[in-house]
Amino acid sequence: MKGFAMLGINKVGWIEKADPIAGPYDAIVKPIAVSPCTSDIHTVFEGALGERTDMVLGHEAIGEIVEVGSEVKDFKPGDRVIVPAITPDWRSKESAQGFSQHSCGMLAGWKFSNFKDGVFGELFHVNDADMNLAILPDGFSVDSAVMITDMVTTGFHGAELANIELGDQVAVIGIGPVGLMAVAGAGILGASRIFAVGSRAALIDAAKFYGATDIVNYKNGPIDEQIMEFTDGQGVDRVIIAGASPEIMKTAVKIVKPGGVVSNVNYYGEGDTIPIPRIDWGCGMAHKTIIGGLTPGGRDRMERLIKLVQSGRIDPSKLITHKFHGFKHVEEALLLMKDKQQDLIKPIVYVE
Amino acid sequence: MKGFAMLGINKVGWIEKADPIAGPYDAIVKPIAVSPCTSDIHTVFEGALGERTDMVLGHEAIGEIVEVGSEVKDFKPGDRVIVPAITPDWRSKESAQGFSQHSCGMLAGWKFSNFKDGVFGELFHVNDADMNLAILPDGFSVDSAVMITDMVTTGFHGAELANIELGDQVAVIGIGPVGLMAVAGAGILGASRIFAVGSRAALIDAAKFYGATDIVNYKNGPIDEQIMEFTDGQGVDRVIIAGASPEIMKTAVKIVKPGGVVSNVNYYGEGDTIPIPRIDWGCGMAHKTIIGGLTPGGRDRMERLIKLVQSGRIDPSKLITHKFHGFKHVEEALLLMKDKQQDLIKPIVYVE
Amino acid sequence: MKGFAMLGINKVGWIEKADPIAGPYDAIVKPIAVSPCTSDIHTVFEGALGERTDMVLGHEAIGEIVEVGSEVKDFKPGDRVIVPAITPDWRSKESAQGFSQHSCGMLAGWKFSNFKDGVFGELFHVNDADMNLAILPDGFSVDSAVMITDMVTTGFHGAELANIELGDQVAVIGIGPVGLMAVAGAGILGASRIFAVGSRAALIDAAKFYGATDIVNYKNGPIDEQIMEFTDGQGVDRVIIAGASPEIMKTAVKIVKPGGVVSNVNYYGEGDTIPIPRIDWGCGMAHKTIIGGLTPGGRDRMERLIKLVQSGRIDPSKLITHKFHGFKHVEEALLLMKDKQQDLIKPIVYVE
Amino acid sequence: MKGFAMLGINKVGWIEKADPIAGPYDAIVKPIAVSPCTSDIHTVFEGALGERTDMVLGHEAIGEIVEVGSEVKDFKPGDRVIVPAITPDWRSKESAQGFSQHSCGMLAGWKFSNFKDGVFGELFHVNDADMNLAILPDGFSVDSAVMITDMVTTGFHGAELANIELGDQVAVIGIGPVGLMAVAGAGILGASRIFAVGSRAALIDAAKFYGATDIVNYKNGPIDEQIMEFTDGQGVDRVIIAGASPEIMKTAVKIVKPGGVVSNVNYYGEGDTIPIPRIDWGCGMAHKTIIGGLTPGGRDRMERLIKLVQSGRIDPSKLITHKFHGFKHVEEALLLMKDKQQDLIKPIVYVE
């Protein structure tokens, strides 16, 4: 089969690879639609995962099952499925303890384009199909379905980790697609005012669509000063970091109240450390919780997100700003994520 | 002053009482708008609180401060305020432990028309003004403000107690004004599908407005059978009871999944016991949590709800179906709550 | 192989059955030591699980592995293992949601002597060995090991469900072996005073050994009156029910404070309903949480309990009052549980 | 009255000050026994709180009430009381939200020798006596009582913030008196193995007394390497930091598992930032929670700790290694905390 791969750091291209093989609990899927992710950019152009050679990229896809292993019960060839970016090993100590994302190792629930070939191939392999796939319901938006696999679940996880209480004021720092879903997630997890921190017009419009009540454009002055002014010097109850460099932690801790939470779903790709500001953290005693985590994945998570879309709580299809028809456009779509244009949120590639 | 009072069980009328007196931390308020509550009906016509003589009724009001005690810092005469139905003693062991509703005794955070005269007087007394009042913001809907004091906070508390996880399916049993706010609360606390159980057309319309995705009309068959059919035999993740007799617990426990929660904000006025169905509760081992509680009140709670309204997460003004101008209409409004008409959700009385 | 079985309701005896067969993830174990449980009594003599024919009894055992399936990685024949009473299906929606006890159905994580032959056979089958077995450490007490499989984990779960806060006062109702472990569990989960409710001298001594500070003998007067006197009329913060009939719920709800928790690990074998007392439950509004649940099982749970024993937090071997040498004594040991003598807590049968 | 005061940075001495005055809710107390704290050292010799002039030091005391305000209900002159180091404003938004330590500002629940004169005076002032004092029970150890006010509550809070699950492995870094109480707290909040990180022989002995199962002496090699070896490369579930410089965060995050918690009750007195190690924190996605907080105080907290001592869960009197008779020895006792000797844990000064 063919796949669009990372050939090495800074190099991508189409390659020929052997077809994937399904173990007894697995499935082989051919993609219907895929989307590149900033993580793919980190992987290829920043070497975030370290050297990888000839590894097929991509971890956001919906597809059609072409083969299932002998022990798969709930799925069969021909089924159209949503494939989460994170496909844990459910038979693991970490899953039993509630952290399936880290099954068999920190972050190791993330397999596509990390430990094995990703979804930008003519076929791809899904471990433990019964636990990791979800049926794409009839009539469900393809665009929404692809967004669920990673952007929605990751952004919403930022809101979950923030442990929002009814009526909390929340700041979301970074309003790329994950940040936008953190805004939307905060709105359906109890937030009142949501301060969206960003600058691009397209993102600001989308942030308002997804429930932001106030916009903090960092081009207009320091984020912390603006937030403090908006909140009469009180700060916010929760901060969700969805994009920035390590230094952002100083701002996040500063603007959050004692008793508040700084939640992180941002991938930090550089620097040795992420700095907690000592004084603003109450010299260690301010009860400002700092928590960051990889999104959960798997079937139950996808089915919950499907129901949220069907119930009208969220319309993730609005994230998609650029549409490509034909698998060959994957490279073009990927490079869009690298050289972010003013009007870009997320591209999608319909395979056929 | 004059007040509309419970003269005794089954008897109401206007009486003359001495003006209330503010202690050093208290405020005296004259009402701007009030609303009668089903609880007033329980109090008067079912003797729910036991015998009460010449006690002014009412606990849902906004008003204007006419006097404050010497130690009140944040409020002054002339301020227009939202007055929560529940006004706790914040200097109490229970408040320190996080249950201010039960400060100084079970349910004793509820004072108006319970331990002291309520808000259907020309003046009423508010304990600990700095901790229990919230400024009515300029331009804020009077209708929404009155609904916040009890209906919104109580319904939302039902959703809070249900401990909803992202994407949970939730059944709300009873869709009077509290149930409608439980529906709305579930929707902004993470629910996906919301099954509203009721039968009156006006309530069903309102339930859909507030986010119900499915309607279960008990006139069409047993609630549990309908819910099980809607959920492919799985049951729901959470149940919120917002109106019914004790027997409803059998249904609630039956339709909730193992690991789920039955949350109650219904006042049970009769019967010795509320029956947990043994088999459906897994003979004691199903992890089906049962929790019921009086809403929190006080200033911080009101300010959070104000922000939720201002942020557009909820529009409680739609609860009001009947409007009266002039304080003298309080009795008429109250009796509406007793003899519920088809199109009634909540009445409001604008005092002037 | 031979096994000691339930032949039908009220009938037990040794029978010959085919040897169990290991699937690819399973193990076959021969018992080293076993203990009968009150649940076995419920099963046989009360028909608690409904009619069962020729089903081998028993679910508390340690043993030696005699065979493992092809996919088992962490265990091999000859390994000595602790076998939890609850052996979930880890690849299930319920396990992914944190309720492995209810994997594939309410209470369905309990398989031994319920859905399949139990451990009172010359051989028994364990599903998903890597996830459900734990190595018996060298030098670890056999007695403690057998107690871990059910009594310790169940009693401790009662304490876990009670959600004890530091310094809470806790009442444990019923001080059979599970109740004693609830006492011990409360003591290492933050309780200060622990009121043990029971009457037999042997149990009272054991309750004190395991950390009870006060004894409430129901022969000396109503439990609620004694508890209220002990607590200056305040009631306790948490109640754990570990043995009683449904009526006990009235007492439990009465003696717990608003904001408190009634936790149940008792199996209710009779009655249609379990009565929540309306008034003491604040007419539905007292924030007295009621929760009951089957213990979690599986490998991680067993390994945690092993570490607790090794760390000296708990010595479960003191539960064992009657010791039998030779598998043939299983019946005798079982009947001890039926006709509870004054000095009985738990019997053990060393198979060889 | 006389008091032992900070005259300015690096300067201490006895001074004459006006007697404190009780407001209507307050009490005036004369000390029975006091203990200096490392925080006093930070305050005086590191200028941790900034410049303070002629401020009486000390925040650990028990005493006898000499005067109460007109509104105090539960206490009277002559009562012997335990005085928590943290005496919150209970009528505050922060207290209503569950963070009384930060009432009226970050860390502002800490008043003694911070915002007002401390307890090293012939008399001292206690705000809101009914909410902030606890009766010293007859026969209760004076030594234990003084330790409860700060060391026990702070160390236990470290264990609380760690959110220990039953059987977790916990590392406590720093085993001064707070760290020792974190060890003890972990042991009664569910920990199995407790790794105590320290080096002084007296502290190591005490750590074992308080429940440490393993000692990690940093003089024997890097802490992280030792912990990883002890845990077969798995790391611990929880880390409690109770003493160290900001760099310790690198170690703490490294040795904790994904899904684990780093809890801090250490005061960081220097450096601009506290460094989170990027890679060990999973580039922001490891679910390693970082939380630090000032202990809660107030009456309910003290009463809970009293009950824990009375129930035999903890014996804090063993912390005291040096005893002084006579108030004049306060300076000597304080300087002991500055120049820590090998055998010092905590000194106490009996006033008379």
* Relative orientation angle of helices A223-230 and A248-255, to the nearest 10 degrees: 20
Sort out which chain D residues have CB atoms less than 8 A from C303's CB and list them. 167
CB contact set of A232 (below 8 Å; sequence gap of 6+): none
Give C270-325 pLDDT, tens digit per residue.
999 999 999 999 999 999 999 999 999 999 999 999 999 999 999 999 999 999 99
Find the CB nearest C285 among B271, B277, B293.
B293
Cβ distance D259 to A98 less than 8 Å, yes or no, reads yes
Mutate to test the interface with A, among D49, D273, D278, D289 (most CBs of A within 10 A): D273
Sort out which chain C residues have CB atoms less than 8 A from B102's CB and list them. 258-259, 286-287
Nearest to C116 by CA among C177, C59, C35, C200: C59
pLDDT value at C340 more than 90: no
Q: What is the DSSP letter of C346?
A: E
Q: Give me the pLDDT at residue B60, please.
A: 98
Sort out which chain D residues have CB atoms less than 8 A from B100's CB and list them. 96
CB B130 within 8 A of CB B75: yes
Cβ distance C304 to D156 less than 8 Å, yes or no, reads no
Residue B340, classified by CB atoms within 10 Å of its CB into exposed (0-12), middle (13-18) or buried (19+), is middle
Cβ distance B292 to C282 less than 8 Å, yes or no, reads yes
Residue with tokens 């001064």: D176
Measured distance CA(A344)–CA(A340) in Å, rounded:
6
Query: Which token pair is A147?
Result: 């967004």
Distance from CA of C147 to the nearest CA of A (A): 22
Distance from CA of B95 to the nearest CA of D (A): 7
Sort out which chain A residues have CB atoms less than 8 A from D286's CB and list them. 102, 106-107, 292-294
- Is pTM beyond 0.95? Reply is yes
Cβ distance C91 to A93 less than 8 Å, yes or no, reads no
- Amino acid code (one letter) for B347: P
* Relative orientation angle of helices A38-45 and A330-338, to the nearest 10 degrees: 80
pLDDT value at C38 more than 90: no
Find the CB nearest A278 among D102, D274, D286.
D274
Q: Give me the pLDDT at residue C49, please.
A: 75
Chain centroid offset of residue B165 CA: 23
Give A9-26 pLDDT, tens digit per residue.
899 999 999 999 999 999
* Relative orientation angle of helices A153-161 and A298-310, to the nearest 10 degrees: 100
Distance from CA of C314 to the nearest CA of D (A): 10
Distance from CA of C129 to the nearest CA of A (A): 11
Alpha-helical (H) ranges within C215-275 are 223-230, 248-255
Instruction: Using a CB–CB cutoff of 8 Å, tell me whether A289 touches chain D.
Output: yes
* Relative orientation angle of helices A177-187 and A153-161, to the nearest 10 degrees: 50
Mutate to test the interface with D, among A278, A287, A294, A295 (most CBs of D within 10 A): A287
CB D150 within 8 A of CB D177: no
Ranges of beta strands (E only) in D80-137 are 80-83, 124-126, 134-135
Measured distance CA(C96)–CA(C109) in Å, rounded:
13
Structure confidence at residue B175 as a pLDDT band (50, 70, 90): very high
Query: Which token pair is D289?
Result: 């929670």
Chain centroid offset of residue D173 CA: 15
Would you say the C-alpha torsion A144, A148, A152, A156 has a positive or negative sign?
A: positive
Query: What stretch of H or E contains D240?
Result: strand D236-241
pLDDT value at B45 more than 90: no
Measured distance CA(C300)–CA(C185) in Å, rounded:
18
| DSSP-based helix, strand, coil % in chain D, nearest 5 | 30, 25, 40
Sort out which chain C residues have CB atoms less than 8 A from B48's CB and list them. 283
Q: Give me the pLDDT at residue D339, please.
A: 85
Cβ distance B308 to A188 less than 8 Å, yes or no, reads no
Residue C285, classified by CB atoms within 10 Å of its CB into exposed (0-12), middle (13-18) or buried (19+), is buried
Question: For residue B191, how many other CB atoms are within 10 A of its CB?
Answer: 34
Sort out which chain B residues have CB atoms less than 8 A from C258's CB and list them. 94, 99, 101-102, 106-107
CB C50 within 8 A of CB C138: no
Q: Give me the pLDDT at residue A46, please.
A: 82
CB contacts < 8 Å between A and B, how many?
70
Nearest to D288 by CA among D277, D296, D298: D277
Give C214-242 pLDDT, tens digit per residue.
999 989 999 999 999 999 999 999 999 99
Query: Which token pair is A350?
Result: 């319909």
Measured distance CA(B99)–CA(B110) in Å, rounded:
12
Cβ distance A190 to B188 less than 8 Å, yes or no, reads yes
Find the CB nearest D91 among B93, B97, B128.
B128
Nearest to B166 by CA among B135, B137, B193, B134: B193
Measured distance CA(B46)–CA(B48) in Å, rounded:
5
CB D154 within 8 A of CB D331: no
CB B117 within 8 A of CB B104: no
In chain A, whose CA is at the least distance from the CA of D162?
Answer: A289
Q: Which residues of chain A have pLDDT under 70?
A: none
Question: For residue B233, how many other CB atoms are within 10 A of its CB?
Answer: 8
pLDDT in tens, chain D (352 residues): 999 999 998 999 999 999 999 999 999 999 999 999 988 888 888 877 778 899 999 999 999 999 999 999 999 999 999 999 999 999 999 999 999 999 999 999 999 999 999 999 999 999 999 999 999 999 999 999 999 999 999 999 999 999 999 999 999 999 999 999 999 999 999 999 999 999 999 999 999 999 999 999 999 999 999 999 999 999 999 999 999 999 999 999 999 999 999 999 999 999 999 999 999 999 999 999 999 999 999 999 999 999 999 999 999 999 999 999 999 999 999 999 888 888 999 999 999 8
Cβ distance D267 to A284 less than 8 Å, yes or no, reads yes
Sort out which chain D residues have CB atoms less than 8 A from C187's CB and list them. 188, 313
Measured distance CA(D186)–CA(D169) in Å, rounded:
9
What is Dmax (Cα atoms) for chain B?
Answer: 62
Portion 83-102 of A in contact with C at CB < 8 A = 90-91, 93, 95-98, 100
Q: Give me the pLDDT at residue B44, please.
A: 87
Distance from CA of B145 to the nearest CA of D (A): 21
Distance from CA of C246 to the nearest CA of B (A): 9
Residue B123, classified by CB atoms within 10 Å of its CB into exposed (0-12), middle (13-18) or buried (19+), is buried
Sort out which chain C residues have CB atoms less than 8 A from B98's CB and list them. 259
CB B156 within 8 A of CB B305: yes
Chain centroid offset of residue A77 CA: 28
The half-sphere exposure of D43 on its side-chain side, counting CA atoms within 13 A, is: 28
